[in-house]
Structure 1
């Protein structure tokens, strides 16, 4: 099975850029573990106004925000939840959701990937020592990714990366989702 990294298409012309999800710890949304008392209906700030997107990652934290079209394309895969989200200044009839990915999979092929890791003496995030800081070339161990049984997941030790399988990629493309960039890994 092939796998792909799902990212925000930051080069899409005249697009919006979204800010924080209000009244909730945004890092917990990226980690897939929102607080138990998190509101079930959150508002998302608009950082820069522009064309609405079906898939967007918030500016500071990378929280994925999806439209109803994108949610419908994804279906209800295991390890994924959707939290209602209102976009600041948008028509209430336009439905959006925080894409909450609870599954992480340890499947980076380190021998074929090119990356940088946090170190214990990192001046900003020494608490992330051993975790991936950036990828210059990302290659997955397909056997480990497939064995997870998850069609959508985040990478262990690099929770900013969203990985989807070929079936999810096809569904996104067939739905003609705006704002999703999909690259084979």
Structure 2
């Protein structure tokens, strides 16, 4: 049986929940795109995020630019289920909210894009983003489950904006009643 993997994304069907902005430093510098490059965060300055749209707090939040802000309780659950060395929890305060949250910074980057079953083109110099040349521009994203085997929470090399989890992590989060996210299967099935 082929292992299944899922892209974690925002639950668009829940219009009652809040929406968080980008994390930033105490000086007000926003950090878009900082937490999807599979690199450890070593800055010790406190980070905060504002509530962009009020509503019911969620335990797993997508705040744009592939940043996930997760309730500390849920992060602790993840640390008990998968190798805590493959991700980092960075404390973040939510302005005008008392709950404990962390930025989920995935450190595991896996070369697993299934090019045969994905639809994509690659960034070129003509796109005006020299730092992205050679990376994928996906319209249909699939991964090769054999190359992803043994990884539970990761990003795909060349398409790092996607946060991917194994069936084990999906079941764990669903059983815990985590709110704010949806899971989309990204393994090609004939």
Instruction: Decide: shared fold, TM above 0.5.
Output: yes
Sort the Cα spacing of 1:35 and 1:153 in 2 relative to 1 into closer, same or farther, 3 A: closer
Tell whether the 8 Å contact from 1:120 to 1:127 is kept in structure 2 after alignment.
no
Is 1:112–2:117 an aligned residue pair?
A: yes
TM-score where L is the length of structure 2: 0.85
Q: Secondary structure of the equivalent of 1:121? A: helix
> Which portions of structure 1, spanning 4 or more consecutive aligned residues, are displaced by more than 3 angstroms?
none
Name the counterpart of 1:14. 16
Q: How far 1:50 sits from its partner (Å)?
A: 1.5
CA RMSD of aligned residues (A): 1.8
Choose which of 145, 149, 152 in structure 1 pairs with 2:148: 145
Cα separation, 2, equivalents of 1:58 and 1:96? 13
Q: Secondary structure of the equivalent of 1:144? A: helix
Cα separation, 2, equivalents of 1:26 and 1:32? 14
Superposed CA offset, 1:78-113 (max 9, x none): 31111111111102xx11110010110010110111
Choose which of 9, 25, 36 in structure 2 pairs with 1:30: 36
Tell whether the 8 Å contact from 1:69 to 1:177 is kept in structure 2 after alignment.
no
Unpaired runs of at least 5, structure 2:
none
Q: Secondary structure of the equivalent of 1:140? A: coil
Instruction: Give the length in aligned residue pairs.
Output: 177
Name the counterpart of 1:46. 51
Unpaired runs of at least 5, structure 1:
none
